A and B are shown apart, each in its own frame.
Chain A
Amino acid sequence: MREILYREAIVEAMAEEMERDETVFVMGEDIAEFGGSYKTTVGLLEKFGKERVRNTPIAEQGIVGAALGAALMGMRPVAELMYIDFSAVAMDQIVNQVAKVRYMFGGKAKTALVIRTQGGAGRSSAAQHAQSLEAWFVHVPGLKVVMPSTPRDAKGLLKSAIRDDDPVFFIEHKLLYLQKGPVPEGDYTIPLGVAEVKREGRDVTIVATSSMVGRSLQAAAELEKEGVSCEVVDPRTLFPLDKETILASVRKTGRLLVTHEAVQRCGWGAEIAAIAAREAFDYLDAPIVRVCAKETPVPFAPKLEGHVIPNKDDVIAGVRTLLQTA
């Protein structure tokens, strides 16, 4: 299968959906002539014109509000927020309007919009441009939240998100944009709410999304050399959550590690841990371990940033804790 970049997979998903359905259009800051600050909308303007590829002012509240209005009128907007950090500006629209409209109108209004954004650390973007804020959105009933870890998942999940009649918050990762991977050509979708076992294993279950999937796979490959076998499960969507795949894995291995780039306290890892503690209690052979960012704003200095954000070695250390004998 041909290999393309994660960001190319994103472009391809939007182009195919715009081709298929004329109600789909994209909007955001610098997405037209410039092609997006992370090159995720390159070529769309040339293909579909200014009407369907719309530059917006720097006004996140306006972007989300306008997208919601368009969706209510039957369109399928894909709105880009340049950084997830900027979603704070649009929080009233996202939380109080987008997530609530379908419910408050008794299901009579369709809010088929996608909010695309990117998060995560690793490029010295400093504290206001490197956060992992997915838990904010998972905590709001009425939103679906997606965090793809590979080019193939990015394309298939984005196409599903665009076709979904509920609002979907779609979080990409700035370090993954230049990652290459096999991506099928043409039309395929990956359903929301279906996890994938990225590596099978026997001794420990590692639940990871986005950038932590690759780091967990590296950790698993190293641990394999010592005879420790890790299963890596990627939920892919944090809501809806595929509990069964995660629980089946935990019941098999008896040990659970959850890892994310967001800080530990009140991160979505706590939700996974609580679900496992309740629904796989009799299978746990060790306390659940979380491997997360240290509880601090993300530092600008590369060395410090590397210290704060969990890496492969942190995952290995977490697995060792799980396997610790007296």
Chain B
Amino acid sequence: MATPLPMPKLGLTMEQGTILKWMKPEGAPVEKGEIILQIQTDKVEYEVESPDGGVLLKTLAGEGDAVPCGQNVAVIGRKGEDVSAFTGGAAPKAEKPAAPAPSRAEAQPAAPAPSAPVPQAPAGAPAAGGESAPPRDGRVFASPAARRVARELGMDYRTLKGSGPGGRIVQADVRAAAQSPGRTAGAPRVAAPPAPPAAATGPAAVAAKKPVAGMRKVIAQRMAASWSAVPRVTLQAEVDLTNLLAVREASRKAWEQDLGVKVSINDLILFYTARAVRRCPAVNVRLAGEEIHQMADVNLGIAVAVENGLMVPVIRGADQKPIDALAREARALAESARAGSLPLSALEGGTFTVSNLGAYGIDHFSAIVNAPESCILSVGAARERAVVREGQVVPRTTAWLGINADHRIVDGAPAAGFLSTLKDMLENPKVMPA
């Protein structure tokens, strides 16, 4: 019995992987556990081991191909064995299917993603591994669950492309279509605004084209999904950091000499944010289907700009860590993110995200909630500003902090409570970071 090698699913949000490189040609002998393939997900590169020993009978996808998780990319077996059963693309009923277990210690995701992470072809893409079955006699095949969800969302599922077996429309297809921009099915059609008159010199010239792929695609999808699904409430507050800077100045030498760590103002903001989240559990929640999950830990995501994109590595149990450990970890994560060497485990399990654009001189901004989390904190630049204190205009160093919250589960008052708690902690730093 030949063994198929499916595209592994390396994380809750992974839907497809791209074949980077076949380490073995077709026909080559392979050992069980030997690395035969390099793939790239939207986050990392990963080496895939052979699930069995024998011969690499057939590769079902070429380098550069994007393949949905669970779809077979190769067949391993005895020389001369028939592989026709596996060339249809669907995961077969193999005797011993076994995707290679990721060798990295994978952190358990802190909470279920809101929608079932079923391997699926991207909505609207042709069904993977062959043609989707054309509707017979005009019949469209959809699972009962897909029909129900379409009913609930007021959508017409018959227009969708199914990713299930034989082109069956499944629940995930309906949900994906509901979240895709430009959804018009079932919604009242809005007349498009009249196009502006074209310039006399013709359309604007395009300098370069590149596909929306890999990380960019994931960012695009997740931001669009968050923006269309999450009703945000946005709160901003100016925070006086003068005292915090004084604390940093006073402790800087000790931190550097005794602990060997440079602590930035951002590290201190992370330190107090984690503790404010612990104190205000109302902002440490997730919406999971019909349930609200109160998260047990404070796992702080830190938004890091990387070449051509954005990553959010996670500091787990951030409220339990002393300032030196936090500063070290934040630095290490940011460096790994920029180097592209973050393990998957570092990207999972966040419960609350912080985004700081102070380094770009931005005063205040509104960040997009990193679903399935419910809140994101935006941090602007710390500057000397004229502040009125006791009737006098005095120079103080302040920064604008903002929180964007998913108003379905976090109301304005608890979001405000959190922001004022954090403001109070930062303005009167009592918990001496040690």
Residues of chain A whose beta carbon lies under 8 Å from any beta carbon of chain B: 202-203, 222, 225-229, 252-254, 281-286, 313, 316-317, 320-321, 323-326
13 contacts between A and B (CB under 8 A): A226-B99, A254-B171, A282-B148, A283-B144, A283-B148, A285-B170, A317-B95, A324-B90, A324-B164, A325-B163, A326-B90, A326-B128, A326-B164
With contacts A227-B11, A283-B144, A316-B98 taken as known, whether A326 is within 8 angstroms of B129 at the C-beta atoms is yes
**Residues of chain A lying within 8 A (CB to CB) of residue B129:** 325-326
**Residues of chain A lying within 8 A (CB to CB) of residue B372:** none
3 A-B pairs with the lowest CB-CB distances in the bound complex, closest first: A326-B127, A285-B145, A282-B148
Complex Cα distance, B146 from A284, in Å, reads 8
Contact of B130 among A313, A317, A326 (CB under 8 A): A326
Contact of A227 among B14, B144, B167, B168 (CB under 8 A): B14
Inter-subunit contact B11/A326 (CB<8 Å): no
Of chain A, the residue at the smallest CB distance from B288 is: A202
Inter-subunit contact B148/A325 (CB<8 Å): no
**Residues of chain A lying within 8 A (CB to CB) of residue B164:** 286, 324-326
Complex Cα distance, B310 from A58, in Å, reads 75
Inter-subunit contact B99/A203 (CB<8 Å): no
**Residues of chain A lying within 8 A (CB to CB) of residue B12:** 227
> Besides A203-B117, A228-B117, A286-B143, 8 other CB < 8 A contacts?
A225-B106, A227-B69, A285-B146, A320-B94, A325-B91, A325-B119, A325-B128, A326-B165
Inter-subunit contact B90/A316 (CB<8 Å): no
Inter-subunit contact B162/A317 (CB<8 Å): no
Complex Cα distance, B289 from A254, in Å, reads 13
**Residues of chain A lying within 8 A (CB to CB) of residue B90:** 324-326
Inter-subunit contact A324/B97 (CB<8 Å): no
**Residues of chain B lying within 8 A (CB to CB) of residue A203:** 116-118
**Residues of chain B lying within 8 A (CB to CB) of residue A320:** 6, 70, 91, 93-94, 97
Residues of chain B whose beta carbon lies under 8 Å from any beta carbon of chain A: 6, 8-12, 14, 68-71, 89-91, 93-99, 101-102, 106, 112, 116-121, 127-130, 132, 143-148, 162-168, 170-172, 289
- Closest beta carbon of chain B to A96's beta carbon, Å: 41
Complex Cα distance, B3 from A316, in Å, reads 14
Of chain A, the residue at the smallest CB distance from B348 is: A227
Of chain B, the residue at the smallest CB distance from A229 is: B112
With contacts A227-B12, A325-B90, A326-B89 taken as known, whether A282 is within 8 angstroms of B147 at the C-beta atoms is yes
**Residues of chain B lying within 8 A (CB to CB) of residue A284:** 143-145
**B contacts with A: majority SS:** loop
**Residues of chain A lying within 8 A (CB to CB) of residue B69:** 226-227
Complex Cα distance, B123 from A104, in Å, reads 61
- Closest beta carbon of chain B to A316's beta carbon, Å: 6
With contacts A317-B93, A323-B91, A326-B163 taken as known, whether A282 is within 8 angstroms of B144 at the C-beta atoms is yes
Complex Cα distance, B413 from A235, in Å, reads 44
Inter-subunit contact B116/A253 (CB<8 Å): yes
Complex Cα distance, B118 from A253, in Å, reads 11
Complex Cα distance, B170 from A284, in Å, reads 9
Contact of A222 among B91, B101, B117 (CB under 8 A): B101
Complex Cα distance, B8 from A228, in Å, reads 11
**Residues of chain A lying within 8 A (CB to CB) of residue B144:** 281-285
Inter-subunit contact A325/B68 (CB<8 Å): yes
**Residues of chain A lying within 8 A (CB to CB) of residue B98:** 222, 313, 316
**Residues of chain B lying within 8 A (CB to CB) of residue A286:** 143, 164, 170
Of chain A, the residue at the smallest CB distance from B71 is: A325
Complex Cα distance, B117 from A222, in Å, reads 16
Inter-subunit contact B132/A326 (CB<8 Å): yes
**Residues of chain B lying within 8 A (CB to CB) of residue A252:** 289
Most chain B CB atoms below 10 A, which of A228, A229, A281, A324 = A324
Complex Cα distance, B121 from A285, in Å, reads 16
Contact of B116 among A202, A225, A324, A326 (CB under 8 A): A202
**Residues of chain B lying within 8 A (CB to CB) of residue A283:** 144-145, 148
Inter-subunit contact B120/A325 (CB<8 Å): yes
Of chain B, the residue at the smallest CB distance from A277 is: B144
Complex Cα distance, B131 from A307, in Å, reads 34
- Closest beta carbon of chain A to B294's beta carbon, Å: 16
Contact of A316 among B97, B101, B148, B171 (CB under 8 A): B97
Of chain B, the residue at the smallest CB distance from A281 is: B144
Most chain B CB atoms below 10 A, which of A225, A282, A316, A326 = A326
With contacts A285-B171, A317-B95 taken as known, whether A325 is within 8 angstroms of B165 at the C-beta atoms is yes
**Residues of chain B lying within 8 A (CB to CB) of residue A325:** 68, 70-71, 90-91, 118-121, 127-129, 163-165
Of chain A, the residue at the smallest CB distance from B8 is: A226
Complex Cα distance, B163 from A282, in Å, reads 18
**Residues of chain A lying within 8 A (CB to CB) of residue B101:** 222, 225-226
Complex Cα distance, B99 from A316, in Å, reads 10
- Closest beta carbon of chain B to A71's beta carbon, Å: 46
**Residues of chain A lying within 8 A (CB to CB) of residue B97:** 313, 316-317, 320
- Closest beta carbon of chain A to B102's beta carbon, Å: 6
- Closest beta carbon of chain A to B401's beta carbon, Å: 34
**Residues of chain A lying within 8 A (CB to CB) of residue B166:** 326
- Closest beta carbon of chain B to A150's beta carbon, Å: 23
Complex Cα distance, B119 from A253, in Å, reads 14
- Closest beta carbon of chain A to B172's beta carbon, Å: 8
Inter-subunit contact A326/B168 (CB<8 Å): yes
- Closest beta carbon of chain B to A240's beta carbon, Å: 27
Inter-subunit contact B167/A282 (CB<8 Å): no
**Residues of chain A lying within 8 A (CB to CB) of residue B130:** 326
Contact of A323 among B10, B70, B147, B168 (CB under 8 A): B70
With contacts A283-B145, A285-B170 taken as known, whether A226 is within 8 angstroms of B94 at the C-beta atoms is no
Complex Cα distance, B168 from A284, in Å, reads 13
Inter-subunit contact B165/A324 (CB<8 Å): yes
- Closest beta carbon of chain B to A321's beta carbon, Å: 6
